[in-house]
Chain A
Amino acid sequence: MTDVAIALLIAFAVWTGWRVFRVDSMVRASFLLMLSFVAVGGVGVLLSAPYIGVATVFMMAVEMMVMAIFMIMFMMNPAGLNPMSMVHQHRLSIAAGVLAFVGLAAAALVARPPSNPVAAGADVVAQLGHELLGPSMLIFETAGVTLLATMVGAVILSSRQGRFGAADTGSRPPGLTEGGDPAGRKPEKGQGGHGHGHGHGHGHGGGHGGGSGHESGHGQEHGDGHGGGHEDSDGQAHNDSHKDPTGDHPKDHKTGHHAGGHA
C-alpha cells in the first residue's frame, strides 16, 4: 500500500518535473516545480522522515513563491499566450539527460543496497535533533554561517551601484592578449543593442543635468562608461571613452561629448 503511494508520488514528481520545461508560462513552470518538490516531501513523510518531508514542503512553497516573482520579472512571454521554446544545444541536452538517467538507473538496478529500513516507531525526529546539536554540531553551524555569507553575498551582488556610479567607470581592463580587447566588454549581438540605446539616452540627460540627475539615471544603465566621459571634460577622459569598447555607436559618442562640453 505504502509502496503504491510512493510510486504514485514519485511518478507525479517526475511528471511535474518534466512539465516544468514544457509549459509556455514561466510562472506555471515554477508552480509545477513546487508540485514536484511537494511530491518529494510526501515521499519523505511516507518513508518515515516526517521532519525532512514537511520541511521540504514548507521551504519549497516559500522558495517557489520567490521564484515566481523572479519569473515575472524576467518573463519574455507574459501569461503564456505564445508558445515558448527557448532552448539551445537541444540534441546535446537531450542526450546528456538521457545518459544521466540511464547511467543512474542502471546503477540503481544493478546495485544491491542493504535492506535495512527504519525500525517502526523509531524516534527519528528526536534522533535528528540530538545529531544536529550533538556530534554534528560543527556541520550544522557551518551551514548556518554559509547561509549568512550567502545573504551578505546576495545583497552585495544585487545592490545598486553606489552614489557615484559604477566603480569601473572609464576604466579599461587589460586585454586578453597583448594589446587586445578585454574580456566581456565587447558590444553583444542582438539582446545587447537595446540596452545600449537606453544608456546613451540617459547619458545625455546626465551631462546636462549635473550630478544628481547623473546618479539617478545611471543606477542600472549600461552606459556608465559614457557618463564618466561626460563629466570629465579634459581630453584624457575623452580619449579613454573613445577607446572604450562598450560603445557600439561612435557617432553617439561624439554628440555626447559635445553636450558634455556645453554643460
Chain B
Amino acid sequence: MTLTIVLLGAAALIGIGLYGTLSQQSFVMLMMGLELMLNGALLAVIGFWSLALGGMPEGQLLAIIIMAVMAVEMAIGFALIVALYRKRQADMTESIETLKQ
C-alpha cells in the first residue's frame, strides 16, 4: 500500500516535470522541469529500495547516482544557458529556432 502511494506520487512528479519541460519557454524554468522529473525518479527508487528490495545496498547506490545526475545536469545546463546567452543574447527557447534544420 505504501509503495503504491509512493509510486503514484513519483508518477505525478514525473508527469508535472514532463509538462514543465515541454511547455516552458525560459531555459531556467525548463531545467526546473528536468529536476522535477529526477525528483520523481529519486522518490520511486527510494520507495522500491525500502519496500520491495529488502534493503539491498545497491538500491541506495542507485539513489546516489540519481543525485549525481542531478548535479551534472544542473551544472552543464546552466553552463550551456550562460554560453548561449553570451553568444546570442538568448534566454528563451524561441530565440534559437535556427538550430533546427
Contact = CB atoms under 8 A, between A and B. Distances in A.
A13 B50 CA distance: 19
Contacts of A251: none
15 contacts: A10-B5, A20-B16, A36-B13, A47-B2, A49-B50, A56-B67, A86-B29, A104-B7, A136-B61, A147-B72, A160-B86, A184-B96, A184-B99, A186-B98, A188-B98
Contacts, number: 296
Contacts of B79: 153-158
Of the four ranges (under 10, 10 to 19, 20 to 34, 35 or more), the interface on chain B belongs to: 35 or more
Given A70-B78, A105-B8, A124-B60, 13 more contacts: A7-B5, A20-B36, A40-B42, A49-B46, A66-B74, A70-B28, A76-B26, A86-B29, A88-B23, A115-B52, A150-B75, A155-B79, A191-B94
Nearest to B50: A47
Chain B interface main SS type: helix
Contacts of B86: 160-161, 219-220
A81 interface: no
A79 interface: no
Of the four ranges (under 10, 10 to 19, 20 to 34, 35 or more), the interface on chain A belongs to: 35 or more
A180 to B, nearest CB: 11
Chain A interface main SS type: helix
Contacts of A155: 79
Given A67-B74, A128-B57, A192-B95, A6 B5 contact: yes
A188 B6 contact: no
Interface of B: 1-20, 22-29, 31-33, 35-36, 39, 42-43, 46-55, 57-58, 60-61, 63-65, 67-68, 70-72, 74-76, 78-83, 85-99, 101
Given A17-B17, A117-B50, A43 B11 contact: no
